[in-house]
């Protein structure tokens, strides 16, 4: 395959979905030449939980994608509802940058809106462009090599950004494939769309969380209005049963969750079931000389917390804003990249630990139920527990020591309480709580130790082979 030629850009971004487009927009608006490469052609689907709360929708607004999203007619979810046994909470989300609702849009539609906004900002998005390798000079990333329509091209750039997801070839190319910390996930997820039988009721404005046994079930009003996404965050061993049992096992799982069964009773126009259990959480080294990793390329947390899309948009935008003024100064650029990565870690560490703990496939204990019950003390409606999802407060501030003590007292005082079991649980949780708070306050940058929220046995698999090597390995036809 012949190299066609090279061109220059300020920034080249591998991946044109959430993190990639969010990085590109502020740079393009500032007059920088930004080129995004994506191996797909849009629209195309992507495995994802698809949900954004107000803090994520505000990022769509900042990048100019929200008007396009709203043209799709999505449901606007203004409430979070939580049902755990006899505990029922409903809170209105706090407003973020004037946005008081969440949206849930299939990636097939959503990512087209992101690419459109990116192009409107002045970025060059090149579809069906396959990244092959990073170009280097004196240990510094100076561009990429890619393939399009059977030809090879090179782009020389001051900054190379990998925004190509969990299986990031860019991460492998810059030597950052192996995460420096991570956690095994005890859950997988299975989901499908359907028509919402509760359309035109308050339920079509509520992100619902249902938890009774080891499964967590989400009901998420989506796009277009009238559709509903139903997600089972289920023990990982269930995923083969969802995949092999198909409709039969889905119906059995729904029947085991009476509240969910009532919520979706009579739903029609049900989509294909999708699922995965490849959900290890991790942090990769995400910046270096002339390069950065954005979105899932650099960091991934359990999707039960619903934070992945918000973080990809927010920290993509912050990356673009951080480097714009220093692109022409390599030393200053590298300092800005390092500071950006540290800020990302500081912002995501709390929800990372939260996701790790929620990924334990256990039924809610008496202690957890009573702690959750304390959120109803102020009455219905005001933001409180929902702030954890909306990221207006850190998890450890929402579920602080005083709240945990109140929950403990209630759990111990309940008729028939297993007090010894509750105290054993507390004794096991205290070291984790203390360690998380210690790390939040004093933890070092790119902390490579181990935190009690993390579970061993995680893996992100082997790094992908360079595409150039793959091409050379393809058998050629006999002459």
CB contact at 8 A, 21 and 72: no
Please report the pLDDT score of residue 476 as a whole number.
30
CA angle 14, 17, 23 (to 5 degrees): 70
Distance from C-alpha of 388 to C-alpha of 471, rounded to nearest angstrom: 46
pTM, two decimal places: 0.93
Phi and psi, residue 452, nearest 5°: -60, -20
**Alpha-carbon gap, residue 467 to 465, rounded angstroms:** 6
Q: What is the pLDDT of residue 439?
A: 81
* CA–CA gap between residue 145 and residue 17 (Å, rounded): 20
Residues of the chain with pLDDT under 50: 1, 469-479
> The dihedral of CA 167, 169, 171, 172: what is its sign?
positive
Say which residues have a Cβ less than 8 Å from residue 228's Cβ, sequence separation at least 6: 193, 194, 195, 196, 198, 204, 219, 220, 221, 222, 264, 267
pLDDT of the residue at 3 = 57
Q: What is the pLDDT of residue 6?
A: 83
What pLDDT shows up at residue 4?
A: 61
Q: What is the pLDDT of residue 468?
A: 57
Best CA proximity match to 179, nearest among 74, 51, 88, 297: 297
DSSP strands (E only) in 163-226: 181-183, 187-195, 206-211, 216-221
Q: pLDDT value at position 451?
A: 75
Structural domains of the chain sorted by starting position, each given as residue range(s) with its CATH number in brackets: 3-47+56-72+107-183+281-357 (3.50.50.60), 187-276 (3.30.9.100), 360-442 (no CATH)
Look up residue 469 and give its two tokens: 């090597």
Integer Cα distance of 107 and 103 in angstroms: 12
Give me the pLDDT at residue 477, please.
31
Strand, coil or helix: 459: coil
For residue 449, the model assigns a pLDDT of: 67
Residue with tokens 């000389």: 289
Helices (H) and strands (E) in the chain, counts: 15, 20
How do residues 334-346 score in pLDDT, each as one tens digit?
A: 999 999 999 999 9
> According to the model, what pLDDT value does residue 441 have?
78
User: CB neighbours of 290 closer than 8 A, spacing ≥ 6?
Assistant: 140, 141, 142, 158, 159, 160, 330, 333, 334
Q: What is the DSSP letter of 41?
A: -
Q: Residue 132: which of 121, 118, 143 has the closest Cα? A: 143
- Distance (Å, whole) CA 317 – CA 30: 13
Residue 230 phi, psi dihedral angles, 5° rounding = -115, 125
Looking at residue 472, what is its pLDDT? Answer: 37
């Amino acid at each position: 395959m012949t190299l066609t030629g090279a061109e220059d850009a300020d920034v080249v971004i591998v991946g044109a979905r959430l993190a990639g487009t969010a990085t590109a927009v502020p740079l393009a608006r500032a007059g920088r030449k930004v080129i995004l490469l994506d191996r797909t052609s849009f629209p195309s689907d992507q495995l994802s939980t698809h949900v954004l709360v107000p803090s994520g929708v505000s990022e769509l607004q900042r990048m100019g994608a929200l008007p396009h999203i709203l043209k799709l007619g999505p449901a606007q979810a203004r409430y979070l509802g939580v049902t755990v046994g006899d505990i029922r909470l409903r809170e209105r989300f706090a407003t973020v940058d004037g946005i008081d609702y969440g949206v849930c849009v299939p990636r097939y539609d959503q990512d087209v809106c992101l690419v459109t906004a990116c192009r409107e900002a002045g970025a060059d998005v090149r579809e069906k462009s396959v990244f092959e390798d990073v170009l280097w000079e004196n240990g510094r990333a100076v561009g990429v090599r890619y393939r399009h329509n059977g030809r090879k091209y090179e782009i020389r750039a001051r900054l190379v950004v990998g925004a190509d997801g969990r299986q990031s070839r860019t991460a492998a190319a810059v030597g950052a494939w192996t995460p420096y910390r991570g956690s095994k996930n005890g859950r997988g997820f299975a989901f499908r769309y359907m028509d919402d039988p509760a359309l035109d009721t308050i339920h079509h404005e509520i992100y619902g969380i249902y938890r009774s046994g080891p499964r967590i079930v989400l009901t998420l009003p989506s796009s277009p209005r009238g559709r509903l996404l139903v997600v089972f965050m289920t023990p990982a061993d269930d995923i083969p049963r969802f995949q092999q049992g198909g409709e039969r096992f889905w119906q059995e799982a729904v029947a085991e969750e009476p509240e969910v069964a009532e919520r979706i009773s009579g739903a029609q126009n049900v989509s294909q079931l999708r699922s995965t259990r490849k959900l290890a959480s991790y942090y990769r080294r995400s910046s270096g000389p002339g390069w950065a990793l954005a979105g899932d390329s650099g960091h991934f947390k359990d999707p039960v917390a619903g934070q992945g899309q918000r973080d990809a948009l927010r920290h993509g935008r912050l990356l673009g804003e951080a480097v714009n003024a220093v692109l022409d100064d390599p030393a200053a650029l590298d300092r800005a990249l390092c500071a950006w990565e540290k800020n990302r870690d500081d912002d995501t560490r709390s929800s990372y630990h939260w996701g790790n703990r929620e990924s334990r496939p256990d039924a809610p204990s008496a202690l957890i139920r009573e702690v959750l019950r304390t959120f109803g003390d102020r009455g219905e409606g005001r933001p409180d527990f929902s702030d954890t999802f909306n990221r207006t407060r850190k998890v450890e501030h929402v579920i602080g020591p005083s709240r945990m003590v109140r929950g403990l007292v209630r759990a111990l005082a309940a008729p028939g309480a297993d007090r010894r079991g509750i105290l054993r649980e507390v004794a096991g949780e205290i070291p984790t709580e203390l360690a998380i708070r210690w790390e939040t306050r004093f933890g070092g940058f790119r902390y490579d130790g181990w935190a009690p929220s993390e579970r061993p046995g995680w893996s992100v698999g082997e790094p992908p082979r360079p595409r150039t090597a793959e091409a050379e390995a393809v058998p050629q036809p006999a002459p």
